[in-house]
Amino acid sequence: MLSVGRPEYLHIADLSWSRYAHSAILTPDPDPAISNLVQTSATATYGDALAPLGFRLGNGGAGHTGILKLLCEVFIASRGGGFKLEWVLNHSRHTQIALLGDVVQVALTYEPEYEELAVREGWAAKVSRVFNDHFILAGPREDPAALGPEPSITSAMAKIAFRGSSTQPELPAIFHTRADGSATYYKELELWQSAQVNLDTASSWRVRIPVTPYEALLEAESKGAYLITDRATYLTAKRDGVLKSTTVFVEGGPQLLNPCSALINVKAPYNRLARDFASWLCSAEVQLLVRGFGRKWNVGIPIFCVADQQDVAHEDRLLAKL
């Protein structure tokens, strides 16, 4: 593990990332607006803060829901305590870079294509599927794009683009993009492509908001904008009572699957606790925790699906509950 006192952020061009292995994920994004800085300091500590550090866990938005805290605290207790765990916040690709450089020893990421790349390169092992989250299309209840009841994701994106580019809309359609290199951002680009929308002419209605998933929802709420977000973040914001006018228009289906898998770095120094944790994440005990997480919140439905459930059950869908 990197020593305490490292900088809070490190550019992906820094040579320390590749001291254990080289990887194509270190290629900077060609979009100059996307940050190439990877966070290296902890966002949260789980367990006794004065205890020795067992390992660091890398992940993006799921940490804000509380699921990481739950899993880490249960794991610490089940192993007799005496150590703490830390969460380092980065989006999915930067979490993989943090794993490559041994800033984190377990990575929970959401991009299967990049996960398989790391495995093929020989430095990572994909240990388990932890849970399945799902992307959703959310936006203002006024629905200026006139999406209608339960549209397909492709038709909904096309309608937003059409209304956004209209020269005299009664109520303008605005779309917020995080444009931050996250799994959500690349899913958004994929959806625009499926809808055959040319983003070269979208600058008037597609607004860059490069913030965290939770902050992006708050921005969309305040500006009356549509956005692609994930179910877990949306439900967390609903739990917190900060969304009054932002509702869900599209959810469900294989195109919106957001799978979370656990990876370890097999080239970095061996960490017994980290390997144990990564394997434990696919256990029946963890899947039971995932299945029940969020059911006691105000909406009363699970936040995530268990690892072998690809889609949200119809009775648990947001469109049926909100």
pLDDT per residue as tens digits for the range 104-151: 999 999 999 999 999 999 999 999 999 999 999 999 999 999 998 878
For residue 160, tell me if it sits in a domain: yes
The number of folded domains in the chain is 2
pLDDT at site 169: 58
For residue 84, tell me if it sits in a domain: yes
Looking at the structure, tell me whether residues 53 and 139 fall in a common domain. no
Please report, for the domain that includes residue 38, its CATH number: 3.40.190.10
Residue 288 has pLDDT above 60, yes or no: yes
Domain around 70: 9-133+257-315
Looking at the structure, tell me whether residues 226 and 84 fall in a common domain. no
Domain end (from 237, 256, 275) = 256
Domain end (from 208, 234, 256) = 256
Looking at the structure, tell me whether residues 160 and 247 fall in a common domain. yes
Residue 255 has pLDDT above 90, yes or no: yes
Rounded to an integer, what distance in angstroms lies between the CA atom of residue 155 and that of residue 160?
9
What is the mean pLDDT of the segment spanning 243-270?
96
| Burial group, residue 30, by CB count within 10 angstroms (0-12, 13-18, 19+) | exposed
For residue 4, tell me if it sits in a domain: no
At 198-211, the pLDDT tens digits run 999 899 999 999 98
7 confidence band (pLDDT: 50, 70, 90): low
For residue 1, tell me if it sits in a domain: no
168 confidence band (pLDDT: 50, 70, 90): low
Looking at the structure, tell me whether residues 266 and 124 fall in a common domain. yes
Residue matched to tokens 């690892």:
307
pLDDT at site 2: 39
What is the mean pLDDT of the segment spanning 31-41?
91
Residue 322 has pLDDT above 80, yes or no: no
For residue 224, tell me if it sits in a domain: yes
What is the mean pLDDT of the segment spanning 33-38?
92
Q: What burial letters (b/e) apply to 57-89, b meaning 16+ CB within 10 Å? A: bbbbbbbbbbbbbbbbeebbeeeeeebbbbbbb
For residue 3, tell me if it sits in a domain: no
Looking at the structure, tell me whether residues 122 and 268 fall in a common domain. yes
3 confidence band (pLDDT: 50, 70, 90): very low
Looking at the structure, tell me whether residues 13 and 129 fall in a common domain. yes
What is the mean pLDDT of the segment spanning 289-316?
93
Residue 4 has pLDDT above 80, yes or no: no
pLDDT at site 89: 95
One-letter amino acid for residue 46 of the chain: Y
Residue 74 has pLDDT above 70, yes or no: yes
Q: Name the residue with higher pLDDT: 171 or 278.
A: 278
How many CB atoms neighbour CB 93 within 10 A? 23
pLDDT at site 1: 43
Looking at the structure, tell me whether residues 175 and 273 fall in a common domain. no
> Is the model's pTM score more than 0.75?
yes
One-letter amino acid for residue 53 of the chain: L
What is the mean pLDDT of the segment spanning 55-74?
95
The one-character DSSP state at 200 is G
For residue 167, tell me if it sits in a domain: yes
Looking at the structure, tell me whether residues 177 and 245 fall in a common domain. yes
For residue 2, tell me if it sits in a domain: no
Q: Give the three-state DSSP class for 226.
A: strand
Looking at the structure, tell me whether residues 142 and 220 fall in a common domain. yes
Looking at the structure, tell me whether residues 150 and 289 fall in a common domain. no
One-letter amino acid for residue 168 of the chain: Q
pLDDT at site 149: 80
Of 68-72, 77-81, 313-317, the poorest mean pLDDT is in: 313-317
Looking at the structure, tell me whether residues 62 and 140 fall in a common domain. no
Domain end (from 256, 291, 307) = 256
Looking at the structure, tell me whether residues 211 and 278 fall in a common domain. no
